[in-house]
Structures are given as structure tokens and as C-alpha cells.
Amino acid sequence: MDFTGKTAIVTGGSRGIGRAVCLELARGGANVALCYAGNEAAAQETVKAIESLGAKALAVRCDVSDGAQVETLVNETVKAFDRVDILVNNAGITRDGLLMRMSEADFDAVIAANLRGAFLCMKAVTRPMIRQKYGRIVNLSSVVGLRGNAGQVNYAASKAGVIGMTKSLARELAAKGVTVNAVAPGFIDTDMTAAMQEAARTAVQTSIPMGRPGAAEDVAHAVAFLVSEEAAYITGQVLAVDGGMAM
């Protein structure tokens, strides 16, 4: 897929799925601005990997739940590359626990990062995308947002909310040349899932019809398709990349 001349912002782009998305877009020729929460070393490693593919890259530290920092992210991207064509809202956190034991702080933190963050980033890029009459937005939801999961009331709420925002903004921007879609990953091999106990990993894996976890690149390929010209007539959709978990 050809992204030559396009500029992408990928939140949470230093590791895992975000890094895979950055590299996939760079392979297609896109300039990539990635934001990271705190791991500067990982962010710079991703920048070097992008540049090794012949694309230009920028790393910006940004708390996506802070509107002022998000505006800075977008402004720095435009300053470096003159435009923003693609937004991939990937940044997110978990604070798992049963509802009866979940603190308000843990609930609020997940909603702030996963739902408010996506809202703020979409709001920040909408105006420039409308002006140029072109844009592609992909939000990372989750299979948990489609079917729920015990111990993840906060995470499920945030990811279900992302789907609602995706469909609503898709309706607002459909006539403006801007598409808005979501990808809902299932059990993907990342740092987050690697920290799970082996018994928990095995239990989850048995619920996957394909019988194995996915790779970050599986998600990146889906994202790349949805931001490509080949997907120009697709908007307001949720694509599950989950090996069949949500069937």
C-alpha cells in the first residue's frame, strides 16, 4: 500500500502494536509522528527503525489525556511534515480488578487514557483534515469492548466507548473526505500479555478458534488497510483481529 507523501500520527507508538503500525506505515512511505508516555529509549529505537525504512520520523512525549499536550503533538507534527493525513489512536492502559474491589482512581485512569485520549486526539486532527478534505482515523478498540471480560469493567467500558465514538464521528465526517474506523484486537503477543501468568494465558488461548495468539503485525496490517486508498469507501466499521474470539 502506498502512503507516499502522507503523514501519520500514531499514539503509543514506541512499543507493541503501536510500533508495528508505525513500521507498517513507514514501509508504505508515510512520515510518522509517534507519541509515547515515558519510555524515550523505546521511542527513539522506533524512530531509528522507521528511518531505516527510508521514511521520516518524529517522537513526541505526550499524555493523550491532556488536551494541551495533544495540541502540541499535532502542532509539532504539522511543523515537521506540513500536514496530518492519518491518526491511529493506539495509546492505552489497563488497571484490572473485579468491580467490587476496583478503586475510582483505577476506573478514572483507564477511561482518561483510553477514551478521553482518543477523543482529544480526534478532536485535534479533525479541523486540519476537513480543511484538506482528506483524512483517515483508526481507533484501537478491543475484543473486550465487544464481549466484555471479568476483571476489566473499566477497560471494557473504555473500549466499547471507543466504538461508539468511532461510529458517531464517522457519520459527522463522511461527507468531508475523512473516514473513521476501529480495529478490535483479540489476544495479541505484546509486553502486556507476556506479563500474564501461564495458566491465564492458556485459558485465554483455548477460547481462540484459531488456537493461537495473534502478532502485533496482524493488527498493523489491518490498520494499514483501513487508512489506505483501497479502503476509501469504508467508514464507521469495526474490524476484529482476534482469530475468531468474538464470533
Amino acid at 176: K
Catalytic pick from 36, 134, 155, 233? Answer: 155
pLDDT of residue 43: 97
pLDDT tens string 47-72: 999 999 999 999 999 999 999 999 99
Q: Quote the pTM value.
A: 0.96
Distance CA 12, CA 94 (A): 13
DSSP assignment letter at 101: G
184 and 160 Cβ atoms separated by less than 8 Å: no
36 is catalytic: no
Q: What is the dihedral of CA 51, 54, 56, 58, to 10 degrees?
A: -20
pLDDT of residue 35: 97
Beta strands 31-36 and 57-61 are parallel
If you search the block for the grid coordinates 475510582, which residue do you land on?
A: 104
Q: Top-level CATH class of 7-241?
A: alpha beta
H/E run at residue 210: none
Q: What is the pLDDT along the chain (247 residues), one digit of tens a residue?
A: 899 999 999 999 999 999 999 999 999 999 999 999 989 999 999 999 999 999 999 999 999 999 999 999 999 999 999 999 999 999 999 999 999 999 999 999 999 999 999 999 999 999 999 999 999 999 999 999 999 999 999 999 999 999 999 999 999 999 999 999 999 999 998 876 766 677 777 878 888 999 999 999 999 999 999 999 999 999 999 999 999 999 8
pLDDT of residue 202: 80
H/E run at residue 167: helix 153-173
Q: Where are the domains of the chain?
A: 7-241
If you search the block for the grid coordinates 502506498, which residue do you land on?
A: 2
pLDDT of residue 193: 72
